[in-house]
Structure 1
Amino acid sequence: MGTHTKSRWFVGVPHDGVQECVLYAFPHAGAGVATVRQLCVELSDSFDAFAVRLPGRESRLGEPVETVMAELADKLAGELLDHAQGRPVVLYGHCAGSSIAYEVARRLGPATVRALAVSSHPAPGSVRREPTWALPRPDFLRQVVTDGYLPSQLLANEELLDIVEPALRADYELVEAYELELYESGAAEPVAVPTVAVYGRDDHTVAPDRIEAWSALTTGPFRVVPLPGSHDLPTSHPADLAAVLRGTLAPVA
């Protein structure tokens, strides 16, 4: 079954048995599976939970990064179909991972995807994203810190920045170019799956009305859930986030 299927794209957590539904968790920009691993552990009683590992980070550090959303979403949709082995799927994305999860859901459709969950990110196309991915290192990394993707104390660690910056820039280009195009074209299309959007009450990086804007991207039931905490819900409040996802998504899945 999917739990035992080897894939460089998906990393599972150990648990007993095989669940009927598979959940895939997409981390934030520049991140690897470590940032959503505890959430997957919390959800493993209800789903076969897998973290998504994109090229250019962790064990895939030497692989070329992805910067074009359509190409990445096409690859992920194919990999995910093979990996799930016919079981229904739930997709969860945190911050920039929300846009990737949404595009994969568009490709797979309701026959495969039973629900979509997103957190801490504006609905694609609802706000104009100014491109920052091509800025010089100091300016770019200051924006990354402002967005909550990088602790400010790491800015002095040039050796570490050399490792993490390529994946960060790639993900920023991936999401900024994609969302700017959607904003200017107005071409965002709804998906016919139940959707839940979660945000932290103390998150100052995204306004609540931009979370509400996800309602325009689904023709299924929609719910917004505020949680205690700030931007980094999968790492700071994994149990609270898992409870929301489990309670909202498990009955649908």
Structure 2
Amino acid sequence: MTFVPSPSPPAVRQPGATALFCLPGAGASAGLFAGWDEDLPATIEAFALEPAGHGLRTDEEPHTDLDTLLADLMDAVRPYAGRPLALLGHSFGAVLAFELALRLEREGTPVRHVFPVAARAAAVRTGSPPGREPTDEELKARLRALGGTPAPVLDDEEMFALLLPALRADFELTDAYRYRAGDLLDCPVTAFAGADDTVVPWASVKAWGACTRGRFTVHRVPGGHFFPFAHRSARADLLRTLAQELDRRPGTAPRRPDTPEHG
């Protein structure tokens, strides 16, 4: 797995391979995707996008303005624009993937596919009016409700304090995000939902179909909100489906909201 931004684009390991950019959700870092390349064919090369203030970039201030964050991430993606591109995002990372894909298409860079994972569709996000700043304990409770963060991290005051700046910035962006009517992708979208996800309603995952003019497919698979990270087999199944979608020739299937369910 290659983490970006990096000082300079690494050499292409597989000429012609699709560059798959993966974006973590609120409060998470690019390290979430470590090892994903092990379950991908040679035709796909995975890159994990690290937002400022997270993981390997904890020495930077996290972005609290969406346009600034997206500009930063676009700078990391543009060096690869000569290659086939696809984007995947988990939870709010899927919204960032959607917004990046919109910007790439507007710049004339084709996007092969967008893969939202365990995420409410951009089209159903209307934003929340500004309110009082949540307390540290309220943020901790929200993170605990999402799951995925080990209890020892949440219970250790020093470790949790290290997460707070990025966590506060991420939830501010998540809550404020408002979909702009008419913003539609041209590329296909394939969404994934965990059948036991108590965070993201099934209907809001199916709503990703309203975010693209292209073909839309949605898969409901076993597991909760963090299903791709909880079990290697779940990750392998997701990436196998992803590879099949990227291998599909354009126009080989009609645009319809297919809803395969597994398990």
Tell me which of 199, 203, 214 is aligned to 1:205.
199
1:115 is aligned with what amino acid? H
Partner of 2:153: 154
Instruction: Report Cα offsets for 1:116-147 as digits up to 9, x if no partner.
Output: 11111111241455578930011121012112
CA distance in structure 1 between the aligned counterparts of 2:195 and 2:89, rounded to whole angstroms? 18
Partner of 1:88: 84
Tell me which of 207, 218, 226 is aligned to 2:212.
218
Partner of 1:63: 60
CA distance in structure 2 between the aligned counterparts of 1:132 and 1:226, rounded to whole angstroms? 34
Tell me which of 85, 98, 103 is aligned to 2:99.
103
Partner of 1:117: 115
TM-score (norm 2): 0.82
Q: How many Å apart are 1:112 and its aligned residue? A: 2.4
Displaced runs of 4 or more, over 3 A: 3-7, 9-12, 14-19, 127-133, 151-154
RCO higher in 1 or 2 (8 Å CA, sep ≥ 6)? 1
Once the two structures are superposed, the pairs formed by residues 1-253 of structure 1 within 5 Å of their partners are 7-8=5-6, 17-82=14-79, 84-109=80-105, 111-128=109-126, 130=128, 134-178=133-177, 181-182=178-179, 187=181, 189-236=183-230, 237-252=234-249
Aligned residues of 1:69 and 1:174 also touching (Cα < 8 A): yes
1:30 is aligned with what amino acid? G
1:126 is aligned with what amino acid? V
Instruction: Report Cα offsets for 1:213-244 as digits up to 9, x if no partner.
Output: 10100000000001111111331221121112
Cα 1:228–1:107 change in 2 (3 A) is: same
Aligned residues of 1:35 and 1:234 also touching (Cα < 8 A): no
Q: Give the secondary-structure state (helix, strand or coil) at the position aligned to 1:30.
A: coil
2:89 is aligned with what amino acid? G
Aligned residues of 1:233 and 1:241 also touching (Cα < 8 A): no
Task: Say which is worse superposed, 15-24 or 119-128, in terms of deviation.
Answer: 15-24
CA distance in structure 1 between the aligned counterparts of 2:239 and 2:198, rounded to whole angstroms? 22
Cα 1:140–1:6 change in 2 (3 A) is: closer
Q: How many Å apart are 1:7 and its aligned residue? A: 3.7
Task: Say which is worse superposed, 15-24 or 141-150, in terms of deviation.
Answer: 15-24
CA distance in structure 1 between the aligned counterparts of 2:200 and 2:110, rounded to whole angstroms? 30
Q: Give the secondary-structure state (helix, strand or coil) at the position aligned to 2:75.
A: helix
Cα 1:38–1:6 change in 2 (3 A) is: closer
CA distance in structure 2 between the aligned counterparts of 1:107 and 1:9, rounded to whole angstroms? 23
CA distance in structure 1 between the aligned counterparts of 2:7 and 2:119, rounded to whole angstroms? 23
1:159 is aligned with what amino acid? E
Cα 1:247–1:212 change in 2 (3 A) is: same
Aligned residues of 1:118 and 1:198 also touching (Cα < 8 A): yes
Cα 1:114–1:44 change in 2 (3 A) is: same
Aligned residues of 1:121 and 1:211 also touching (Cα < 8 A): yes
Aligned residues of 1:132 and 1:140 also touching (Cα < 8 A): no
Q: How many Å apart are 1:194 and its aligned residue? A: 0.3
Q: Give the secondary-structure state (helix, strand or coil) at the position aligned to 2:87.
A: strand
Q: How many Å apart are 1:148 and its aligned residue? A: 2.5
TM-score (norm 1): 0.85
Q: Give the secondary-structure state (helix, strand or coil) at the position aligned to 1:170.
A: helix
Aligned residues of 2:49 and 2:73 also touching (Cα < 8 A): no
Q: How many residues align?
A: 244
Q: How many Å apart are 1:59 and its aligned residue? A: 2.1
RMSD value, Cα: 2.9
